[in-house]
Amino acid sequence: MKKTLLAAALLAGFASAAQAQSSVTLYGLVDVGYVYTKTDGVDSNNELASGNQSGSRWGLQGAEDLGGGLKATFLLESGFDQGTGQSLQGGRLFGRQSWAGLSGGFGDIRFGRQVTITSEFFGAVDPFGAGFNAANLGNTFVAMDTVRTDNTIKYISPNSAASRAASTTAPRTTVTNPLFRQPTTVWLAQLCVTRTARC
């Protein structure tokens, strides 16, 4: 009995220590607006529109300190239509992103559904933040649109003085952009030159 109580106390202590070193953030964004459009020779249109500037979403982002400068990380992000409550990205629960990975002195490696490096890079430099529908860069240059791939392995190098490198591979993936056919293998590589922490 004493051994059982001691083991339970040790487990509780380890759980408390792990909890103190981990963090999970619940976040979200709701974008909804009333849209009135009128074109010459065409009847006017009134509608409640979701995702005018940015897609409505909620998500969970977390990190667990594993010691020695190593962290386990994850991101689960769900897109939805605010007007109907339906899940977007083909009805997936976490259709925007769903990945887990490791972060340390070597950089970051992530496994799962995530946006491509090109999408991350141009989302950062697009003055409209890849939002505002027809105004963003993705509507002019399709490769700059937000492209999400399944079963993706992404590596992002640590920050150096002025640059950061990244690459992804996504074998037998399903993508949410008509630029690609399914199934396909996607290989992208990129070198970013930046003064910020984001590639």
| 189 pLDDT more than 50 | yes
State which amino acid sits at residue 170: A
- Where is average pLDDT lowest: 143-152, 157-166, 184-193? 184-193
Alpha-carbon span 155 to 114, nearest angstrom = 12
Alpha-carbon span 56 to 161, nearest angstrom = 35
pLDDT digits over 32-74, tens only? 888 888 888 888 888 887 777 778 999 999 999 999 999 999 9
Q: SS3 sequence, 116-165?
A: CHHHHHHHHHCCCCCCCHHHCHHHCCHHHCCCEEEEEEEEECCCCCCEEE
Most confident of 16-20, 150-154, 166-170, 179-183: 150-154
Decide: 58 and 80 in contact? Cβ < 8 Å.
yes
pLDDT digits over 76-111, tens only? 999 999 888 899 888 999 999 999 999 999 999 999
- Model pTM score: 0.70
Using a 10 angstrom Cβ sphere, with 0-12 exposed, 13-18 middle and 19 or more buried, the burial of residue 126 is middle
Token output for 88: 């977007």
Per-residue pLDDT band for 8 (boundaries 50, 70, 90) equals: very low
- At 18, which helix (H) or strand (E)? helix 2-20
